[in-house]
Every structure is written in structure tokens, then in C-alpha cells.
């Protein structure tokens, strides 16, 4: 048994309780939360005690639900500003970036996420090159084996390769490593291949993620087989028409409670389907800005029963995996939303909503949840706790300590 005491406990429970001078008793899971450190100590006299430094915030570790580790090598290589120029640059530099990033490079990114207080993440893996590093990670990892391929003649080959990766990830399954599947997108995966992959997801109860309506180009291609993707598909794949329409694509995900990444250009009809499917939307504001998307209409998403997540996306479309930087970007971008309410919503998005979407028993400090914590020391105290979410987002970077399944990692 252990007890940890902190000046502020940000529970992220349903009441968004912030407990001052509270303490948490835990083993692998959280056993009890108390506003009285003394009472908890008396109740569990054998417990090992940790007292966090003054002005520390104890909170659930972050859950970064969407990252592409295989592109971790990118810093200044890729073209930003618009989606198609970025995609062309990914294709051109793919080998250089992928070959330039081996286990060491994935593990550096994984380690840095830990330093940022990220205790779980969802890794979108295109090739499986990052699989062993993810299986060895100290964090919990939901490992999304991704399928891509719009060429109908090559479906069998893509599917065989996908199944081999799924089988390898099954062999690595553990208390902290969970195989899952990702469909790259509606424009890049043939609907027949989507069906095959989702059948496997249903049979194995895998979590499912897909990019959806990330760019204006995607909207125009899927609606009318027009726009900037027209030339792209003609040149690279000799394809003249989109093989999916967005409504039938979404329909394929029924009953999977899927994770739709971006949804910046999703329309009302599509959002109604997403809501009905009890699906989740992942918001990646930095990635959206760098790849030339408009800002997500978060006010509209919030008016529906669609839980939203915040994630960093890969270093192919971000300069950092720091969740605080991502939340600050959202705070600046979503300027029509109340600053304090948005700060609370972002912290929920980065913890509880992300854990729920990934099917993990963490993301809040509540009895029975896994003891996955991050501790951040504020520069000074915050008198009015209404200001704590905002001040935490503005002033935190690296965690002072991190715990996963009750074990202190650093
Ligand atoms: C494909 O592999 O078919 C594809 C990849 C990226 C964008 C579009 C299509
Ligand atoms: Fe992505």
C-alpha cells in the first residue's frame, strides 16, 4: 500500500473535483481518495508515504490517443501549409524518414512522452517497425495496426500484410500492450479492404481508429471526385473516381464505437452518424494548423453527445509530443470558447475521454481506476481553484514524477 499527498489533486472525476491538500491511497489500482492526509495515514498505517513538493498538482497521467511513431525522425524535412504538398513531401521523403528512425529513435520519442507525463498512448503503426519498441514501453500502448491501399488490384496483398502484423502484435499482448486496428482513411483504403479489416476488429473486439475529413481536399474528393486529390490519384494510382462516399464509409464502423481523427470538414449529417455510433473525435490542433486545415468547430462538437479527445498526432505534423503545447494551441485557436471551461474540457479530453476511447481503465483519479499518475509542480500557488486548469496548462511542461499501475517510473 502507498499514499501520495499533494497540494492539489485534479481528479478529472464527473464533478471535476479539485481536492486541496488531499491524498490518494493506491496499490496497482486506486484504493481511496481523501481530503485528509492524516486520516488516510491513520487508516493505512503500513503505507509507504510520498509527499509531493509544494504547489504540486497530482493528476491522472495523460493519454495521447493518436501518434505515428514511425515518422518520429521528422523535424524540418516535411512541407507544411497545405495538405497535398505535405502528402507529396511524405511520399518523397518516406524512405529517408522511415529508414532514419530505428528502435532507438522510437524509444527516444516514447521516453520523452513519459517525461511529458503521458502514461498511455495510441500508436498508429503503418508498417509494424515500431511494434517491439511499443511492446517494451513503460506506458500502456494501444497499438493500432494500420491498413492503407486504395488500389483494388492489390487488396489481397495489403490484407495479407495487415494480418501478419496483427498476428505479431497478438503475440506481444500484455498488461500494457493492446493490439488494435486503424483504417488510414476513406480516400486511401478501398471499401472492400475496410470491410475485411473491420471484420477482424469485430471478431477480436479491437479498438478501431481512422482519419476522417482532415482536409478540404478530402472533402472535395469524396463528395465529387474533384479538388487537389484528382491529380494525385490520376498520377499515382491511375484512379479517376473516389471508391467510397463518406456516408457509406462511416456506416461500415457501426457498433465499433470507433475513433475518428480530425473530422474538421465533417458535415452535420456525418456528425449525426458519429454521435449515433457513440464514436469519439480526436482533435489535433497543431497538426491541423500545419497541414492547412481550418480550425475544428469545437463549439459545435461540444453541443452534441460526441466525446472529444486531444492528441498530438505524429512528429510528421507536429514539433512536439507535449500535451500541454497541444492544449495551449487549442486554447489560442478556439477563441470563441470560454477560457476556463475550455481549459477544463481540454484536460478531460487529454485524460478521461482518451482513456475511454482507447478502452483503458485509467484517465481519472477515482477508486478502482489504475494508479497512473503524473505530478506537475506549479511555479506558485493558485488561490482560486477555478484558475487551476488554465494555470496548469499555461505553466507546465515536464512531469516531476510519473506512476504507472502504481509503480513509480521516475
Ligand atoms: C494509397 O495507398 O492508395 C494512398 C495513399 C495515400 C493517399 C491516397 C492513397
Ligand atoms: Fe494522424
Query: pTM for this structure?
Result: 0.99
Task: State the burial class of residue 45 (Cβ atoms within 10 Å of its Cβ: 0-12, 13-18, 19+).
Answer: exposed
pLDDT digits (tens, 9 = 90+) for 55-68: 999 999 999 999 99
Q: Atom 9, ligand 1: which residue's CA is nearest?
A: 188
Query: What pLDDT is recorded for position 208?
Result: 99
Average pLDDT over residues 278-287: 99
d(CA 346, CA 354): 11
Q: Residue 149: CB within 6 Å of ligand 1?
A: yes
Residue 114 corresponds to which cell in the numbers above?
Answer: 513519459
Domains of the chain: 2-61+363-408 (2.30.40.10), 63-358 (3.20.20.140)
Q: How far is the CA of 327 from the centre of ligand 1 (A)?
A: 30
219 CB-side CA count, 13 A:
14
Using alpha carbons, list the distances in angstroms from residue 384 to 13, 354, 381. 19, 27, 9
Mean of the per-residue pLDDT values of the chain: 98
pLDDT digits (tens, 9 = 90+) for 163-207: 999 999 999 999 999 999 999 999 999 999 999 999 999 999 999
Percentage of the chain modeled with pLDDT above 70 = 100
d(CA 288, CA 83): 9
As a dihedral over the C-alpha atoms of residue 80, residue 81, residue 82, residue 83, rounded to 10 degrees, the angle is 30
Which of these, 215, 357, 206, lies nearest to 279 by C-alpha position? 357
Query: What pLDDT is recorded for position 392?
Result: 98
Residue 246 corresponds to which cell in the numbers above?
Answer: 463518406
Q: Residue 187: CB within 6 Å of ligand 1?
A: yes
Q: How confident is the model at residue 320 (pLDDT cuts 50, 70, 90)?
A: very high
Query: What pLDDT is recorded for position 113?
Result: 99
Q: How confident is the model at residue 377 (pLDDT cuts 50, 70, 90)?
A: very high
Query: What pLDDT is recorded for position 122?
Result: 99
Query: What pLDDT is recorded for position 191?
Result: 98
Query: What pLDDT is recorded for position 151?
Result: 95
Residues identified as active-site? 214
Q: How confident is the model at residue 267 (pLDDT cuts 50, 70, 90)?
A: very high
To 10 degrees, what angle do helices 388-395 and 323-333 make? 120
Q: What are phi and psi of 310, to 5 degrees?
A: -120, 135
Query: What pLDDT is recorded for position 211?
Result: 99
Q: Atom 8, ligand 1: which residue's CA is nearest?
A: 188
Report which secondary-structure segment, H or E, holds 191: helix 191-204
d(CA 241, CA 190): 12
Q: How far is the CA of 73 from the centre of ligand 2 (A)?
A: 15
pLDDT digits (tens, 9 = 90+) for 297-317: 999 999 999 999 999 999 999
Amino acid at each position: 500500500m502507498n499514499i501520495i499527498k499533494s497540494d492539489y489533486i485534479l481528479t478529472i472525476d464527473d464533478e471535476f473535483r479539485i481536492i486541496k491538500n488531499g491524498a490518494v491511497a493506491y496499490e496497482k489500482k486506486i484504493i481511496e481518495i481523501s481530503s485528509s492526509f492524516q486520516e488516510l495515514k491513520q487508516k493505512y498505517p503500513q503505507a509507504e508515504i510520498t509527499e509531493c513538493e509544494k504547489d504540486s498538482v497530482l493528476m491522472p497521467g495523460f493519454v495521447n490517443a493518436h501518434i505515428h511513431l514511425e515518422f518520429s525522425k521528422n523535424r524540418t524535412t516535411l512541407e507544411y501549409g497545405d495538405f497535398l504538398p505535405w502528402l507529396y513531401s511524405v511520399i518523397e521523403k518516406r524512405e529517408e524518414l522511415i529508414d532514419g528512425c530505428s528502435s532507438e529513435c522510437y524509444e527516444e520519442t516514447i521516453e520523452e512522452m513519459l517525461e511529458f507525463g503521458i502514461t498511455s498512448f495510441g500508436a498508429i503503426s503503418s508498417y509494424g517497425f515500431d511494434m517491439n519498441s511499443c511492446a517494451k514501453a513503460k506506458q500502456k500502448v494501444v497499438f493500432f495496426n494500420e491498413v492503407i491501399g486504395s488500389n483494388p488490384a492489390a487488396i489481397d496483398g495489403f490484407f495479407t500484410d495487415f494480418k501478419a502484423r496483427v498476428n505479431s502484435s497478438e503475440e506481444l499482448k500484455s498488461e500494457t500492450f493492446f493490439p488494435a486496428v486503424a483504417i488510414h482513411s476513406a480516400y486511401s483504403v478501398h471499401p472492400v479492404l475496410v470491410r475485411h479489416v473491420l471484420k477482424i476488429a469485430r471478431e477480436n473486439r479491437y479498438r478501431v481508429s481512422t482519419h476522417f475529413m482532415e482536409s478540404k481536399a478530402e472533402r472535395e474528393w469524396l463528395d465529387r471526385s474533384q479538388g487537389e486529390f484528382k491529380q494525385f490519384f490520376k498520377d499515382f494510382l491511375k484512379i479517376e473516381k473516389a471508391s467510397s462516399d463518406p456516408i457509406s464509409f462511416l456506416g461500415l464502423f457501426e457498433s465499433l464505437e470507433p475513433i475518428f481523427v480530425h473530422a474538421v470538414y465533417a458535415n452535420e449529417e456525418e456528425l449525426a452518424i458519429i454521435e449515433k455510433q457513440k464514436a469519439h473525435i480526436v482533435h489535433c490542433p497543431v497538426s491541423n494548423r500545419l497541414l492547412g486545415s481550418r480550425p475544428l468547430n469545437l463549439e459545435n462538437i461540444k453541443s452534441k453527445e460526441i466525446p472529444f479527445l486531444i492528441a498530438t498526432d505524429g512528429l510528421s505534423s507536429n514539433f512536439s509530443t507535449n500535451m500541454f503545447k497541444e492544449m495551449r494551441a487549442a486554447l489560442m485557436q478556439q477563441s470563441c470558447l470560454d477560457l476556463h471551461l475550455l481549459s477544463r474540457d481540454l484536460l478531460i479530453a487529454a485524460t478521461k475521454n482518451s482513456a475511454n476511447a482507447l478502452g483503458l481503465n485509467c484517465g481519472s483519479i477515482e477508486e478502482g481506476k489504475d494508479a497512473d499518475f503524473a505530478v506537475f509542480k506549479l511555479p506558485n500557488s493558485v488561490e482560486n481553484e477555478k484558475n487551476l486548469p488554465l494555470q496548469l496548462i499555461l505553466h507546465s511542461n515536464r512531469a516531476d514524477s510519473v506512476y504507472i499501475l502504481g509503480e513509480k517510473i521516475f
